[in-house]
Structure 1
Amino acid sequence: MNLKLLALVLLICYSVNGQEFPEKAEDISPLLIGEKFPKASLLDSKGQEVLLNKLIKQKPTVLIFYRGGWCPYCNQQLASLAEAESQIIDLGYQIIAISPDDYSVLKPSIDDNKVTYLLFSDAGAKLIQEVGIGFKTPGMAKMYIKKKTKIDATEVLPVPTVMVVNTSGEILFEYINPNYKQRISEDLLISALKSLKTKL
């Protein structure tokens, strides 16, 4: 193996093992529609381990990746989804929201936003990396998050993302916007879910 090829292999391995993240939200490489969603172990608000793939097998799922309970735009999205939850359930879907928050701060997000769907912690950002939506935050951002949550924060945040997967874990729809202030509207999401029902 020549040196250039060896260097390329090492670079790929380094990135895959979670040691390297994009520096900008615009530089992420997310999984695409048609690809399989990775298996993952997450924590619920009580710190209990949950296998995400087992939940996905139960029902088609709207997966929400949000930056954290400290983010006002994320809280607005979580609250809006709570208001639209009954429509989403009636269409045959469940909602699962995931953030790099420590599990101990999930309960305030649930209470403050009147959420009855599931929120989980991916505190090490392992799943966020595997989905390809994580990027490194500047040092000031990490300090701000720690100040808000009182907990040492991960330096990795997800680009706010909505994915819809079927019970086999196949990605049927995604909305990913590097501009964290822009989120998919509930009307557009509901329309997408209605059109996807034929593929379930």
Structure 2
Amino acid sequence: MKSSITIKFRSLAVVISLACTTGLVQAQDNAQPVDTKQLSYISPQKPEDISPLLNGEKIPTGLLPDVSGKIFDLNKAVSEKPTVLIIYRGGWCPYCSKQLSGLRQAAPELEKLGYQLIAVSTDAPEGLMQSVTKEKISFTLLSDADLSFSKQFGLAYKAPMGYWEMLLKSTHGKDVDLLLPVPSVFILNKKGAIQFEYINPDFKQRLNPDLLKTVAASIIKEL
């Protein structure tokens, strides 16, 4: 896939149905139940291989720490106002820092249109606070240090080995699977349904703030 192409596809889900006769079910009183905790996220090895949520689908549940470590109910916030949701790698990434700077400049116009901005990264709350201070961020930053949110979004993939040590430090050891999210931008309505998305496996390519403002202005009446 060329790096400039937004991912607009997802892998087909494989559904496995387990069937057994009523007689066998009744006879096996001591059968062990399926342990759903053993089912784990299988992370793609490359960012090109992710299977993200698509336009029209609803975002997953997000109860994430903010810069102070307080749990923030993302879904409740989204239900109150149209939202520009940004998922980025971390404040340690220069491309993410540049993106945050551009979003800071775009925020007043987006907020005037009626949007709120919320950005989620792998940084622990302390790292988020550093980004707030460095980039002078006024919108909400949230921590997805264990990437549970990014996994549900279908955005997480195995980080290259060169990132492993840094990720364990920046997430305070919570990124045990050593994953990274593909940087993404979503526009959500108050039902939490995706109305626009920009997902690029090339982490060096980010959505231009002016283009984001143009798209946001063009669809706000539909939200």
Is TM > 0.5 for Structure 1 vs Structure 2?
A: yes
One-letter identity of the residue aligned with 1:122: D
Correspondence for 2:75: 53
For residue 133 of structure 2, give the secondary structure of its aligned residue in structure 1: helix
Q: State whether residues 165 and 171 of structure 1, in contact with CA within 8 Å, keep that contact through their aligned partners in structure 2.
A: yes
Instruction: Return the match for 1:163 from 186, 195, 208.
Output: 186
Shift of 1:138: 2.2
Shift of 1:100: 1.4
CA radius of gyration, larger in: 2
Percent identical pairs in the alignment equals 42
For residue 175 of structure 1, give the secondary structure of its aligned residue in structure 2: strand
Shift of 1:48: 0.9
Correspondence for 1:9: 16
Correspondence for 1:152: 173
Q: State whether residues 22 and 28 of structure 1, in contact with CA within 8 Å, keep that contact through their aligned partners in structure 2.
A: yes
Shift of 1:50: 1.2
Q: CA RMSD in A?
A: 2.2
For residue 197 of structure 2, give the secondary structure of its aligned residue in structure 1: strand
Q: State whether residues 18 and 129 of structure 1, in contact with CA within 8 Å, keep that contact through their aligned partners in structure 2.
A: no
Higher helix share: 1
Unaligned runs of 5+ in 2: 1-13, 18-34
The answer to whether residue 197 in structure 2 is matched with residue 190 in structure 1 is no
Shift of 1:9: 3.4
For residue 37 of structure 1, give the secondary structure of its aligned residue in structure 2: coil
For residue 191 of structure 1, give the secondary structure of its aligned residue in structure 2: helix
Q: State whether residues 37 and 131 of structure 1, in contact with CA within 8 Å, keep that contact through their aligned partners in structure 2.
A: yes
Correspondence for 1:108: 130
Correspondence for 2:91: 69
TM-score (norm 2): 0.79
Correspondence for 1:172: 195
- In 2, the alpha carbon distance for the partners of 1:95 and 1:122 equals 16
